[in-house]
Structure 1
Amino acid sequence: MSFNKALFLAIVVIIIDQISKIYIKTTYAIYGGFEVLGLDWFRIHFIENEGMAWGVELPGNYGKLLLTVFRIIAVAGIIYWLNDSVKKKGSKILIVAIALILAGAVGNIIDSVFYGVLFNDSHGQIATLFSDEPYGTWFHGKVVDMFYFPIWRGNLPNWLPFWGGEQFTFFNAIFNVADVAISVGVGLLILFNKKVFK
């Protein structure tokens, strides 16, 4: 697979990611959404986070800025890895996996870098693109997540240590297209590691 084809794949995924995020952000207020096909376990549920996996935040005033700068450096490394793998005629699976990881990383970086100055606040209202009153500053945007699969909800058995009797939701994570791309890319590397890393 050529570098240009891999880059095209990444760009397509980034466009899908950004269209879905902009649609959700300009259609629903925060925590808004709907059940997909009337299924209780597949929902579109709009939330925002500071940009780390599972909504983890770095402490301090510069935590978000450091995270975004780190991501930009990581993307440069991923682009180098992709180019190097193409030059060395790496397997198609490897190149597709790297392209997906690249697309996911760039997709979430766009939110972090630009969304703070492009949109107004989503709390209690639907956000406006190119708002005169943006909610943040450059490099301090929040990442838009929307896919929610609460497959099972209930109380855990009392005999379980620590969490017995507490309410639990199996698959509580809320994520976006960029997160899916990263997960699929990493999954391909793990699943086909013997073929990919000869």
Structure 2
Amino acid sequence: MNRKKISVLGITAFIVLLIDQYTKWLIRTTPSLQNYTIIDGWLEFYYTQNPGMALGIEILSTPVISSIAIAATLGIIIYIMLGIKESTTGYLVCMGLIIGGALGNISDRIFIGLIEGYGGVLEGHVVDFIYFSLRINDWTVFPYIFNVADVAISIAIISLLVFNKWIFIDHEQNEAEASKEPDNAPDISVDIESEGGKEGSSSAI
């Protein structure tokens, strides 16, 4: 059972990581996509790199942020593995989305600086390219640029918050437990033949 649960977690994370890294590679190596309108006035690709944290926050240096991200991801993985026996499939899928997204952005921080020649390990900037360009008057509805990894993490967090009652309940386990008879239930069966034999003997006497 644990192997199956680990597979759910690992496969989900791997798929997210694969899609994230492929789309980032595609954007970096295809100039025509680096400023490309998908839905005019709504959605576009706009290639940029983020040296800071989520939402472009730059409080700490890139290496420090990278180290914190790695430590946090390892902590999440350890936490999940410690409780994996009680984890539901829905929960593991959500956590796989989070881990895959985290690994996608960590990969950028480790390798992009080396690939593009502007920094070493942990000095890379996260590749972002998805931009909701919708504006109401002069106000941009969502001014931040993000990537597939961010989408995966956001979907997981929203799902955990909205569908927590379903995600955290193991319905299969509950059904299995409900179908089991208690081991200490008293044996109330009656040995009809034995009772009949006793009654016959009494009548003969």
- TM-score, length of structure 1 as denominator length: 0.77
User: Given the alignment, which residue of 55, 61, 73 partners 2:71?
Assistant: 73
User: Given the alignment, which residue of 138, 151, 164 partners 2:121?
Assistant: 138
Would you say the 8 A contact 2:91–2:160 is kept in 1? yes
1:17-75 alpha-carbon deviations (Å, 9 max, x no partner) = 0010111111139x932111x5331101111111411111124xxx2211111111111
Q: How many residues align?
A: 166
Shift of 1:82: 2.6
Structure 2: how far apart are the matches of 1:58 and 1:180?
A: 23
How many percent identity over aligned positions?
35
Structure 2: how far apart are the matches of 1:141 and 1:78?
A: 22
Structure 1: how far apart are the matches of 2:80 and 2:142?
A: 32
Work out which of the two has the higher radius of gyration on C-alpha atoms and give 1 or 2.
2
Q: Unaligned stretches of 5+ in structure 1?
A: 120-133, 155-166
Structure 2: how far apart are the matches of 1:55 and 1:177?
A: 16
Structure 1: how far apart are the matches of 2:124 and 2:76?
A: 22
Q: Which residue of 1 aligns with 2:110?
A: 113
Q: Which residue of 2 aligns with 1:125?
A: none
Alignment RMSD: 1.9
**Aligned pair 1:177/2:177, yes or no?**
no
User: Given the alignment, which residue of 88, 97, 100 partners 1:91?
Assistant: 88
Shift of 1:150: 1.7
Q: Unaligned stretches of 5+ in structure 2?
A: 170-205
Would you say the 8 A contact 2:63–2:122 is kept in 1? yes
Structure 2: how far apart are the matches of 1:28 and 1:145?
A: 14
Structure 2: how far apart are the matches of 1:145 and 1:25?
A: 10
> Whose relative contact order is higher, 1 or 2, with alpha carbons under 8 Å and at least 6 apart?
1
Q: Which residue of 1 aligns with 2:37?
A: 35
